A and B are shown apart, each in its own frame.
Chain A
Amino acid sequence: MTDGSTVADLGRFAASGRVPEAEVLARRARRWGWWFFVEAWLRGAKAWAVSILLYMVVTPLLYLTALGLGLGALVDRGAGSVDGVPYLVFVGPALLVSTVVMSVGGELTYPVMAGFKWQRLYYGPHATPATPEQIAVGQLVAVLVRFVVQAGVFWLLLVLFDAAPSGWSWLSVPAAVLTAAAFGAPLQAFAASLEDEGYQFAFVQRFVIMPMFLFAGTFFPLSVMPVALQWIGWVSPVWHGTQLARQATYGASEPLWLTLVHVAVLAGLALGGILVGRRIYARRLGS
């Protein structure tokens, strides 16, 4: 980056005589390396902030109007209510979780491959004391920061649409971000393990993300489907996250053990993905 103001800042900083010792800087990088990567990513993200913000606002508006109100009119006429609430209230938190998870598919596939292969974005930080493990975690955390904003915007719209009656509805935001981590960390590890881009990402999109959106209890309770298909929900992060978000937004009732299972599955997937991903980054960056 040869941004004029940054260079001037550095110059002033050096002239002030308060530049920390090299070891101090290295120690900081060793401890906070993952955060430095997050910071760098967020600064880079400024370039496409406007289009992403537009996407964050427009997508939920479209989905809530079309599926919540339009389709909702049809469902409410047919079934009366779903899970004891109007369809809009039922589908709202699910759409919140699903749209975030669908964005994971964009953020942690091609960009990860670009970091190793096309833009080689990971090799810059790797030349500093920051470790490959920190770069792996930093990439994930950076994306999660974006999802906090995205889920937050969606939650606000849910409130505006009168689709989040509970006072605890804001908890759907952490639920969505946890779900994004549970799906994103393993996906990131997978993307990092690929040497060549073939049809893998298209397959993930078509055979993992799309079915998860459609069959994991987003548009109808899992119980509506034949038992032979219900396992798709059980193994999908989206179902676990959606059920948590439903408890938060309208107080959907579920036994306590099931709630704990949701959290455990999501946390387990996220942690497992991070551990595997760290190893793959370390191997790939060669140290």
Chain B
Amino acid sequence: MAETTRVPGPWAGLYGGNARAVIERGFKVIRNQNWAVMVSGFFEPVFYLLAMGVGLGGLVGSVTGPGGEPTSYAAFIAPALLATSAMNGAIYDSTWNVFFKLRFARLYQAMLQTSLGPMDVALGEIFMALFRGFLYAIGFMVVMVGMGLVGSLWAVLMVPVALLIAVGFASIGMAVTSYLKSFQQMDVLQVALLPMFLFSATLFPIDVFPTAIQWFVQAMPLWHGVELMRHLAVGHLEAATAGHALYFVVMSVVGVWFTASRLRALFLR
């Protein structure tokens, strides 16, 4: 049991300085139970890449990539699939997983009976989600490099960017989850995620849409993640690249603040 420290300032009562205990528990669970499920999550984007990139790629031919360069269809969708899988993983961890532990397993209530505060719980859970996302991103990068779909050294940055995307989605997802009462309400999240995946320039460029719909798509976070990944994959950096990254930085800051205040409302009544 680590020494807990009293934390002053705005985090008083929220943070017990021992997120490590939550992380330790997370690794124990992985080791004992669900490593198989966890590992299998890696295959989903890879299956998509094989089916869409190779199978459909034969029908599509070449498409226009960042900066107007023609690129193979597989190279076009691979970065988008990495961004999508970062989103899906983060949303799954911060909604279903958190919801179950919050309302059914009552795990957080149990943790809060100890010297842990809500911030320890949140930080620990976010760390576990990011660890998983990190593994998937590395695995996917290996597949991309193996298939020759990476065109620049800048692509190395796709791994930390996957984590940035994950933080953005996870922090918002967790805050939203804190409002949910039933499993049925989870379907609403699905209704938001599926169109985002289908329309965010993941499988085809958005210029097939009318301008009004393009604006709408461009307001959605996943589109920025997809564009950012695509720029990095081929090393085409411009002002917009930084803009896309900034979107996720702002999203993460707002999300973490939002989640922290929700945790305060939930647990410190």
Which residues of A line the B interface, CB within 8 A?
48, 51, 54-55, 58-59, 62-63, 65-67, 69-71, 73-75, 78-79, 82, 87, 199, 202-203, 206-207, 210-211, 214-215, 219-220, 224-225
Contacts and interface: CB of A to CB of B under 8 A. Distances in A.
A51 B54 CA distance: 36
Interface string B228-239: 000000000000
Given A206-B44, A219-B52, A70 B199 contact: yes
B194 interface: yes
A65 B50 CA distance: 23
A228 to B, nearest CB: 12
B182 to A, nearest CB: 11
B41 A220 contact: no
Contacts of B44: 206, 210
Interface of B: 34, 36-37, 40-41, 43-44, 47-48, 50-52, 54-56, 58-63, 184, 187, 191, 194-195, 198-199, 203-205, 208-209
A113 to B, nearest CB: 15
A74 B63 contact: yes
Contacts, number: 88
Nearest to B194: A62
Given A66-B198, A199-B36, A220-B55, A207 B43 contact: yes
Contact of A48 (B56, B184, B208): B184
A interface: dominant SS: helix
Contacts of B52: 214, 219
Contacts of A63: 198
B208 A73 contact: yes
Best-surrounded residue of A51, A55, A63, A214 (most CB of chain B within 10 A): A214
A65 B62 CA distance: 22
Nearest to A75: B59
14 contacts: A62-B195, A62-B198, A66-B199, A70-B199, A70-B204, A74-B208, A75-B56, A75-B59, A78-B60, A79-B59, A214-B50, A215-B50, A219-B52, A220-B58
B203 A66 contact: yes
Contact of A225 (B34, B55, B204, B205): B55
Nearest to B51: A214
Contacts of A211: 47
Contacts of B60: 74-75, 78-79
The 9 closest A-B pairs by CB, nearest first: A214-B51, A66-B198, A78-B61, A79-B59, A78-B60, A199-B37, A73-B208, A220-B55, A74-B204
